Amino acid sequence: MRDPHRVAVLISGRGSNMRALVEMARDYEVVLVASNKPAAEGLVWAHERGIATWAAESKGQTREAFDRQVSAALEDHGIGTVALAGFMRILSPWFVEQWRGRMLNIHPSLLPNYPGLDTHARALAAGDEAGGCSVHIVTEELDAGEVLGRIEVPILPGDTPQSLEERVLAAEHALYPRILNEFVNI
Ligand code: GRF
């Protein structure tokens, strides 16, 4: 049975947002950390804390074949809410349908500005006064689902994509757990 308070976090790399979600959980529990990269750093951190982990290499498989494996792992753990956190793989329409309305993502821009990659460089090149981050519902269209919350981060003179990324990342770590703690009670 799916329980909205049982959360799976999907990662592909270092997993700093996943760590923030684990550490600031109040109304939910992260019961599974799953990855399309068996070597993802974040898996080690989760395992050391006694959180179940699941990983399979996605390369060489069709999108839906891989997604069916992920979905089966989620069902096995009674997951009711999925949090994408640096999961660098586009999900199949099949998977999105399975988890419709129950799957969130964190994106490093003030959506609807700058969906996709290189958000900080694009914000700087455009001369924006602020960057930021957004948590949104995942739909078939990349970074385009309903926005549930955003934090704006001012762009400072001399900012580089890296310096802006660092400050936005700190804002991500505050925003994502806050939104998820609210979302699981809806
Ligand atoms: C974050 O900036 C997130 O917004 C983006 O990918 C990055 C993942 O970082 N989707 P981490 O793995 O959570 O540290």
Q: State whether the beta carbon of 22 lies less than 6 angstroms from ligand 1.
A: no
Give the atom of ligand 1 at the shortest distance from the alpha carbon of 13. 12
- Mean of all residue pLDDT scores within the chain: 97
CA distances from 72 to 28, 38, 78, 153 (A): 21, 17, 10, 38
Q: State whether the beta carbon of 143 lies less than 6 angstroms from ligand 1.
A: no
Best mutation site among 21, 45, 106 for ligand 1 pocket (most ligand atoms within 8 Å of CB): 106
pLDDT at residue 58 above 90?
A: no
What residues have CB less than 8 Å from 186, skipping those under 6 apart? none
Q: What is the mean pLDDT of residues 24-47?
A: 98
Residues catalogued as catalytic: 107
Supply 69's token pair.
Answer: 């494996």
Q: How many CB atoms lie within 10 A of CB 19?
A: 20
> Number of C-alpha atoms within 13 angstroms, CB side, residue 47?
12
Residues 143-180 have pLDDT tens digits of 999 999 999 999 999 999 999 999 999 999 999 999 99
pLDDT at residue 101 above 90?
A: yes
What is the per-residue pLDDT for 72?
98
Q: What is the mean pLDDT of residues 36-48?
A: 97
Q: How far is the CA of 12 from the centre of ligand 1 (A)?
A: 9
What residues have CB less than 8 Å from 34, skipping those under 6 apart? 8, 9, 10, 11, 53, 54, 55, 70, 73, 74
| Residue type present at position 184 | V
Domain boundaries of the chain, sorted by first residue: 6-183
Q: Whose CA is nearest to atom 5 of ligand 1?
A: 86
Give the pairing of strands 29-35 and 3-11. parallel
CA distances from 140 to 97, 118, 176 (A): 8, 20, 21
pLDDT at residue 186 above 90?
A: no
What residues have CB less than 8 Å from 183, skipping those under 6 apart? 81, 104, 148
Class of domain 6-183: alpha beta
Q: Whose CA is nearest to atom 10 of ligand 1?
A: 86
Q: How far is the CA of 175 from the centre of ligand 1 (A)?
A: 13
What is the per-residue pLDDT for 59?
87
